[in-house]
Amino acid sequence: MDRLTNTIRPYAWGSTTAIAELLGVEPTGEPQAEMWMGAHPGAPSRTERGPLDEVIDEDPGHELGRAAVARFGPRLPFLLKLLAAGAPLSLQVHPDLEQAREGYEDEEERGVPIDAPHRNYKDANHKPELICALTEFEGLCGFRDPAESADLLAGLGVDSLKPYVDLLHAKPEEGALREVLTAVLTADPEEMAATVTEVTEAARRLGGAYTPYAGIAHHYPGDPGVIAAMLLNHVRLQPGEALFLGAGVPHAYLDGLGVEIMANSDNVLRCGLTPKHVDVPELLRVVRFEATDPGVLRPEAAPDGEEIYATPIDEFRLSRFVLPEGAAPRDLTAATPQILLCVAGSVRAGDAGELTPGQSVFVPADEKAEVSGVGTLFRATVVA
């Protein structure tokens, strides 16, 4: 096993305390949004053998296992993170695999620099993801039923929202959601800012179901994403609960600490709640305009004590072990690559030694992986 030293990303929306508290260290006073564990070239984990991406590149067959290389290629297929939201993230969607390949090839052919602020596709991969709450966790996920969104908007009593309310009532589901989101994102910026100001004042006054949107507007005054957010399901996860986010599903995380795992990609199309580039035509090509149940996931118990978060994709598989006092050591040896992350207690991970909250190890395929102790351990691997 390789103990990992991981990079913490200081994005502006990050919590100033959550990751530090988990790690048991003093906060820096700066936002700490994500701690990356994996081999993504943007911030690869470091080991005693070198950066994890370089370690894998030297011998992918040994590090990842033959089956994983045959199925996903010679790189770690997933990226594991601690995510700590102290403010809302951008409202966003991710492309499916075909859309990502087409978008990446198009931007490459047009010569759009990979680091250009208006570039949409940084790679040719899709980015399904799963977020598992460590604390109470608040987010937005998938479109509401259009009638429910109409009622929510109408309840604000803002005259300039009436055309959206009428569209949501009059059109079939897909057409209603598409037309309203398009109208919100393409409206005159000054007129939209004035509408959002009215919406914000009404949401603060009414409270209740409107409280989350007043909070969003506090961070993003005048942003059309405030109204777009009201088209989505508001979700509050309890610790141990999770959300799976597939391609084309609009979503945003609002507050809380969680373990996030995703396919190894950085492709994001933004809808709002951001000063960054919003490519409306490309966004509308990727979004799936259908009302969905957010589908809160709870872990499924396996006979060996593993609790598995089931998802419909194979690039990652997330599970956890809650290790009680006096339990026998568990053998987690597998033919696939693994990252083990401790989030509570103290867990001994074979020859890598003791793991305390926030510490992690990379386990190459077929390497002995025995764990013991008292605590909670997340296991990230693939289905190959």
Six-digit token string for 212: 């989350």
* Nearest of 227, 8, 242, 28 to residue 129 by alpha carbon: 242
Six-digit token string for 108: 């490459």
Give the CA diameter of the chain: 65
Instruction: Please name every residue paired with 236 in a beta bridge, in sequence order, or none if there are none.
Output: 138
Instruction: Please name every residue paired with 355 in a beta bridge, in sequence order, or none if there are none.
Output: 347
Please tell me the distance from the alpha carbon of residue 163 to that of residue 176, in angstroms, as a whole number.
Answer: 11
Q: Which amino acid is at 181?
A: L
Q: Is 101 a catalytic residue?
A: no
- The answer to whether 225 and 91 are in contact (CB under 8 A) is yes
The DSSP letter of residue 307 is E
Taking the C-alpha atoms of 323, 376, 63 and 303 in order, what is their torsion angle to the nearest 10 degrees?
50
Question: Which of the following is catalytic: 270, 317, 320, 379?
Answer: 270
Please tell me the distance from the alpha carbon of residue 278 to that of residue 123, in angstroms, as a whole number.
Answer: 18
* Nearest of 233, 340, 225, 252 to residue 296 by alpha carbon: 233
Six-digit token string for 34: 């994500």
Taking the C-alpha atoms of 207, 209, 212 and 218 in order, what is their torsion angle to the nearest 10 degrees?
-40
- Name residues whose C-beta falls within 8 Å of residue 159's C-beta, 6 or more positions apart in sequence: none
Six-digit token string for 316: 């990652």
SS3 94: coil
Which active-site residues does the annotation give? 270
